[in-house]
Structure 1
Amino acid sequence: MTMELTYKQAGDYLIPDLEVDGADEREEMPLDKYGMLRETFLEEHHPGTHTSMLLTGRLYPHLREIDRQAREQVDRMVADLKKQNGVDEAMKARDQMGWVQAVNSFTAQAEEIVLAEIVYK
C-alpha cells in the first residue's frame, strides 16, 4: 500500500500536508491540569516520544489516561488524609478556615506525590 504525500506552499517552503489520526480529539475532550503538565513534560524532556505519540495518534489518549489516574489518586489520597486526621464535616461546620487549610495542605501533599510518581515519570 503506497500513500501519496501532498504538499502546500508556505513562503519559499513546501510543507507536507499531514493529517494526524485523532487530531480533533483535542477539541472534543480538552485536557485538565495533569494532562497538560504531562504534555509539557514530554515536550521538554522527551521530544522524540512526544512527536512519535502525536504522529501515531497515541498522545491524547495517553494524556487523558494520565490525567484520569492523577486525579483519582489525588482524590483518594486527600480522602485518606482527611480520615486519618479527623477532618470531617463536623470540623467544617465548627472551624471552616481550619478545614480549608487542612484540605489545601492535604491536596498539596497528594499532588506532590502524584506529580513525581505519575505525571513526571
Structure 2
Amino acid sequence: MQYDSEQYHALVVAGGLNAYLNDVERQAQEELEQIVQAMAQKDGTDEALKARDPMKWVRLMNNYRHCAAEIVRQNWS
C-alpha cells in the first residue's frame, strides 16, 4: 500500500481516517487467519495433534503466525 498524502488529508478532513484504518486492520487480520489456516491444513496440524502433543501444536501454530504476519506485512507495504 502506497502512502497517498491527498487521500490521507481527505480522510482526516472527512473524519473517516479511523474507519479506513479499522477496515485495513480487519482485512489484514482476515488475510493472516486464512494464511495460518492454509499452512496448518497443508502440514496436517489439526485438533488431533493438539490433543496428542500440545507443545508441538503450539510451536507449529506460533511458527505459522509469524510466517503469515511477515507475508501480510509484505503484501500491505
Partner of residue 34, structure 2: 76
1:64 deviates by 1.1
More strand by percentage: 1
Aligned residue identity for 2:22: R
Task: Name stretches of at least 5 consecutive residues in structure 1 with no aligned partner.
Answer: 1-41
Aligned residue identity for 1:104: N
Partner of residue 51, structure 2: 93
Aligned identity (percent) is 32
Partner of residue 21, structure 2: 63
Structure having the higher Rg: 1
In the alignment, the residues of structure 2 paired with residue 47 and residue 109 of structure 1 have an alpha-carbon distance, to the nearest angstrom, of 31
Measured on the aligned residues, the alpha-carbon RMSD in Å equals 2.0
In the alignment, the residues of structure 2 paired with residue 52 and residue 88 of structure 1 have an alpha-carbon distance, to the nearest angstrom, of 46
Query: What aligned pairs does 1:1-121 form with structure 2 within 5 A after superposition?
Result: 49-118=7-76, 120=77
Q: Which runs of 4+ in 1 moved over 3 A?
A: 45-52
- Greater RCO (CA < 8 Å, at least 6 residues apart): 2
More helix by percentage: 2
- Number of residues paired by the alignment? 76
Aligned residue identity for 1:90: A
Aligned residue identity for 1:110: A
